[in-house]
Amino acid sequence: MPSNEQRRQAAKRKLERQLERRAVQAKRRRTITIGATIVVVIAVVVGVFYFTRTSDDTAQPETPPQAQPEIQIPTELAPAPQRPTPLADPVSCQYRPEGQASKPVNPPANGEVPSKGTVQATINTNQGAIPLTLDRSLAPCTVNSFVSLAEQGFYNETSCHRIGTTGLQMLQCGDPSGSGSGGPGYSFDDETFPELQYGRGYLAMANSGPNTNGSQFFMVFGEAPLSPDYTVFGTITEEGLKVIDDIARAGDDGAYEPSPGGGKPNKQVNFQNIEIKA
């Protein structure tokens, strides 16, 4: 007969074997549970990704970019500008100090200048050449100033800061600062007349009010419903207008909307120089 001590030892060994089996079974169950959980998580992630891609492709199809409206540009040149009454010859010009020059330059000498004859000029730009005819009979003091600035290199390595493609169709240039408020450090009087009407091919001075002409000018390539307050001093050749038309068709960035209108040209216009042929 086994003793009490032997029975206790046997019972202890049996209990230890039971605990060991339970531990092994518990470990196996945990491994199975973890594996199943990982499979479920992966399935959920894949399902969500597929659903999201499917939903995006279905609910938010790619929208092609809208084309910009085509700019309408007249093709017919406006009649050449002409004063109804010729100016005296010569005329007296005064160039007054005005603000700080955007680039070092000397103003033209005050005094008499001729009001007859024309000057041929060519603006050489990165987009092509823009030939001009400067007309002293329209604005002798303006032509004198423009020639002086061009011959001193004031316009070299400058850019056109504004273009208008609707309403007022023109390209504005002549400010070395590129801000639209720069000038040569002097101003001079308007040379306008009430009968003046603007049209395709006109070269005119920009201003900030009566008798504030400086270095900025604009080239009209289309419609220009303006009051006769801007001095016209020449015309643009058809060759030059083709260059401006191409710049205009590229549009602008709207930087000057709603007033004064237009913006910086999307196709940047950089002057290399202006050649003068008297």
CA distances from 11 to 19, 65, 236, 274 (A): 12, 85, 117, 114
Q: How far is 73 from 169, CA to CA, in rounded Å?
A: 8
Q: 63, 79, 114: which is the final residue of a domain?
A: 63
130 three-class SS? strand
Residue 79 domain flag: no
Residues 111 and 220 in one domain: yes
pLDDT tens per residue across all 278 residues of the chain: 555 555 555 555 555 565 566 655 655 655 545 454 444 444 444 443 333 333 333 334 444 444 456 899 999 999 999 999 999 999 999 999 999 999 999 999 999 999 999 999 999 999 999 999 999 999 999 999 999 999 999 999 999 999 999 999 999 999 999 999 999 999 999 999 999 999 999 999 999 999 999 999 999 999 999 999 999 999 999 999 999 999 999 999 999 999 899 999 999 999 999 999 97
Residue 32 domain flag: yes
Q: How far is 94 from 106, CA to CA, in rounded Å?
A: 14
Residues 190 and 239 in one domain: yes
CA distances from 114 to 89, 119, 212, 233 (A): 6, 12, 22, 14
CA distances from 28 to 21, 39, 206 (A): 11, 17, 89
236 burial via Cβ count (<10 Å: 0-12, 13-18, 19+) = buried
For 178, the token pair is 């590129």
Domain hosting residue 8, numbered range: 1-63
Residue 70 domain flag: no
Residue 198 domain flag: yes
Residues 127 and 3 in one domain: no
Residue 83 domain flag: no
What is the separation of C-alpha 271 from the centre of its chain, rounded to a whole number of angstroms? 16
Residue 84 domain flag: no
Residues 35 and 103 in one domain: no
The number of domains in the chain is: 2
Q: How far is 252 from 267, CA to CA, in rounded Å?
A: 8
Question: φ, ψ for residue 67 (rounded to 5)?
Answer: -70, 140
Residues 25 and 102 in one domain: no
Residues 112 and 245 in one domain: yes
Among candidate residues 222, 210, 206, the one with its CA nearest the CA of residue 174 = 206
| pLDDT score for 47 | 45
Cβ proximity of 135 and 118 under 8 Å: yes
Cβ proximity of 272 and 153 under 8 Å: no
Q: What is the number of other CB atoms lying within 10 angstroms of the CB of residue 77?
A: 15
Residue 82 domain flag: no
Residue 139 maps to which CATH number? Answer: 2.40.100.10
Residue 78 domain flag: no
User: Model-level pTM greater than 0.85?
Assistant: no
